[in-house]
Amino acid sequence: MVSRKERLQKIWHQHDSRRDHKPSSMRQAAAWAVSDGLLQLPEVDPIEILADQMAQAVREEYRTDSEGRRYRVNHAVRATKSGVQYTFWGVMGYAPHDHMEKAFAQRRELIVGENFQQRNERWKAPGHSIGSRLQR
């Protein structure tokens, strides 16, 4: 059985092929998929939309301490309960120690994973071998 992600990836590649592999936005791809009947518009939960917007806003909130160091104010911890993923937010300086510890560990894992993936993609891109990068 194909997962939702795999289905969306397949639809993306169909869109990409039809555009002769010219870069396009996901909005263009989604509109094309809906117009071709490959996807249906989802029912919208306005609270979910507002929660996503609020999460994005608090994720980007920074302050500067008395020594001039910039830091993120709000920190998220992802947890799964009964198969459903939740994100709990805490404010630095007020959130319990265990929340902040988990938030920092998850953030560190995310950064390491992103850096590893970026390294793999850079070295495997056509015309970019490890040797060619070192010779520059």
Q: What is the pLDDT of residues 73-114, one digit of tens each?
A: 999 999 999 999 999 999 999 999 999 999 999 999 999 988
Domain shared by 24 and 65, yes or no:
no
Domain shared by 17 and 72, yes or no:
no
In this model, does residue 131 exceed pLDDT 70?
no
Domain shared by 69 and 24, yes or no:
no
> 0.75 exceeded by the pTM?
no
Q: Please give the residue range of the domain that contains residue 27.
A: 4-35
Domain shared by 67 and 112, yes or no:
yes
Q: Does residue 45 lie in a domain region?
A: no
Tens of pLDDT, residue by residue over 2-12, are 899 999 999 99
pLDDT band at 67 (very low <50, low <70, confident <90, very high): very high
Q: Does residue 49 lie in a domain region?
A: no
The number of distinct structural domains making up the chain is: 2
Among 128, 76, 68, which residue's Cα sits nearest to residue 104? 76
Q: Copy the structure tokens of residue 8.
A: 């969306």
Domain shared by 64 and 30, yes or no:
no
